[in-house]
Amino acid sequence: MSTNDLLALLPIILLCGASVIAMLLVAVKRNHRVMHAFTVAAFIIALLALFRQPDNMPYLIAPLFVVDKFALFNTGLILAAGLSVLLLSYNYFEQREERKEEYYILLLLATVGGLVLLSSRHFISLFLGLETMSISLYGLIAYLRTRERSDEAGIKYLLLAALSSAFLLFGMALVYAEAGTMDFVGIGQYLKGINEPPVAVVAGFGLMLIGVGFKLGIVPFHMWAPDIYEGAPLPVAAYIATVSKGSMLVLLMRFYRDVNGYDYTILWWVFAIIAMASMFVGNWLALMQRNVKRLLAYSSISHMGYILIAFLAGQEAGQEAVMFYLVAYVITSIGAFGVLALLSDSINDAEMLEDFTGLFWRQPWLAAIFTAMLLSLAGIPLTAGFIGKFYVVAAGVSSGLWLLLALLVVNSVIGLFYYIRLVAVMFQPLEGVPVRKRLPFFGVFALSALMVLLLWLGIYPSVLIAMIRDMMLSMG
């Protein structure tokens, strides 16, 4: 390995090192504050490392990795998402569990897994990254052992994730058996070389789709989402919604492009049906949901459906739209879960609709942030979600996906119903004198930053658009 290789993988290496040091720190003395500060520092340093990259992009580290602008951008996104989750975690864990330090180690490891996925171009690195992330997530989801739904969520995720990994492995094996290579580009060349892909390869892709679909939480592989969101600690739920789904999506985009997935109509239709089903099922089940965590879970299923529409639009505009939507989605999801996390007390999470009654008169700033996040999810102007939805629709129109777009419109209206209902609950008049809870500084700071970002992207998205465009063009 050359210096440049190390430089290209610096964020991953830094986080790996950080997790080892973190483990040692716990061995020396348990101190939540030190641990938190250390992890935050590790994330920030990893983010800074992004600016020290080899010049010749895309940089290939054969056979496992490729570091290109696409990977770099998403590494930045995932690290920033992880950092925001971290900032929201301190207070949440401080008031609960006794042993809080291991949480940070697991979070570091899960992020390592995510980062590996972002730049992998090979089945081996794909599987390693995926499993590193999944195994850390088992621990993270069941972290608050004493709570009633923790174990259920942890076991459920463990079983289903293991099952889906098995499918993924089997699929990869089938593809490898025919193609003779595990390299994405190699598989693409193999497929180009033959006219009709053999049954084994088709079956392999199908099985892989199950594995990928599970991680993305798209219908019909979505069943785990609401239970896990409900049972997991809130920062972890935010983490799953953003980092885990986001990195899988990025991997899917890379794989799809390398194997020329857009050439196969049948694959297109499979994704189209999944997109439609995700939109409808997600929105439909969220409609009457009174538990806000479950509501956000269902809403994230439907948002994956919207993203898939942009994904299916293909070409430049579609890929750009996916990236923009992903950024908007990450900001809003963390923001929404963050508000929930800050409102939770040491015994209960703020999760039922009733917990939010009159929030605007109790905690105006938090309510304003939550409103902004919900409106962004609903795609109302002045927020990043609006530009994201606009981007998706624009991509769809340019590829003439009228059926999918019509369904998107229908679903946006259904979605509005439950977002707006939640907003309405927050603005209901309050009886009695409001009791104000003191809010942790870092949490409010992180949320405020997210809201500023949300509005900035909603009002002046040109900078991000130019960045994404530049990145996509460099990919060719």
Partner 1 sequence: MILLAFILFPLIGAFLAWASAAVHTSLPRWVALLVMLAGLILAAGIWIQPEPASIAGADWRYVYHQPWMPRFGISLSLAMDGLSLLMIVLTFFLGALAVLVSWDEIQDRTGFYFFNLLFVLGGIAGVFLVMDLFLFYFFWEVMLIPMYFLIGIWGHGHRLYAALKFFLFTQAGGLLMLLSILGLYFVHGASTGVYTFSYAELLQTPMAQGTGRWLMLGFMAAFLVKLPAFPFHTWLPDAHTEAPTAGSVILAGLLLKTGAYGILRFVLPLFPEASHAFGEWFMLMGAIGILYGGQLAYAQTDFKRLVAYTSVSHMGFVLVGAFAFNELAYQGVVMQMITHGISTGALFMIAGVLYERLHTRELEKMGGLWAALPGLGTITMVFVMASLGLPGLGNFIAEFLILAGSWQAYPWIAVLAAIGLVVATVYSLRIMQKVFFGMTLREFKLKDMSLREAVMLLPLVIAIIWLGLFPQRVIDTAAKGAPSVAFQHKDK
Could you list the residues that contact partner 1 (CB under 8 A)? 361, 375, 380-382, 386, 390, 393-394, 397-398, 405-406, 409, 412-413, 416-417, 420-421, 424, 427, 429, 460-462, 465-466, 469
Q: Report in angstroms how near the CB of residue 323 gets to partner 1 at its nearest.
A: 13
β-strand partners of 183? 122
Q: How far is CA 354 from CA 358, 429, 434, in A?
A: 9, 13, 15
Query: Of 380, 405, 385, which is closest to residue 324 (Cα–Cα)?
Result: 385
The rounded distance, in Å, linking the Cα atoms of 439 and 90 is 12
Q: CA dihedral in degrees (393, 398, 402, 403; nearest 10)? A: -70
Nearer to partner 1, 153 or 457 (CB): 457
Q: Mapping DSSP to helix (H, G, I), strand (E, B) and coil, where does residue 375 land?
A: helix
β-strand partners of 120? 65
Nearer to partner 1, 149 or 469 (CB): 469
Q: Report in angstroms how near the CB of residue 405 gets to partner 1 at its nearest.
A: 6
Q: Report in angstroms how near the CB of residue 288 gets to partner 1 at its nearest.
A: 14
Nearer to partner 1, 157 or 419 (CB): 419
- Max CA-CA distance within the chain? 73
| One-letter amino acid of 365 | W
Q: Report in angstroms how near the CB of residue 392 gets to partner 1 at its nearest.
A: 10
The DSSP 8-state label assigned to residue 140 in this structure reads H
Q: Report in angstroms how near the CB of residue 440 gets to partner 1 at its nearest.
A: 24
Nearer to partner 1, 63 or 434 (CB): 434
Q: Report in angstroms how near the CB of residue 220 gets to partner 1 at its nearest.
A: 27
Q: Would you say 243 and 78 are in contact if contact means Cβ atoms under 8 Å apart?
A: yes
Nearer to partner 1, 264 or 390 (CB): 390
Which ranges of 10-100 does DSSP label H, i.e. alpha helix?
10-28, 32-49, 69-94
Q: Report in angstroms how near the CB of residue 49 gets to partner 1 at its nearest.
A: 29
Nearer to partner 1, 205 or 280 (CB): 280
The rounded distance, in Å, linking the Cα atoms of 114 and 251 is 10
- What is the separation of C-alpha 218 from the centre of its chain, rounded to a whole number of angstroms? 13
Nearer to partner 1, 110 or 310 (CB): 310
The rounded distance, in Å, linking the Cα atoms of 450 and 448 is 5
Q: How far is CA 215 from CA 195, 253, 302, in A?
A: 31, 14, 14
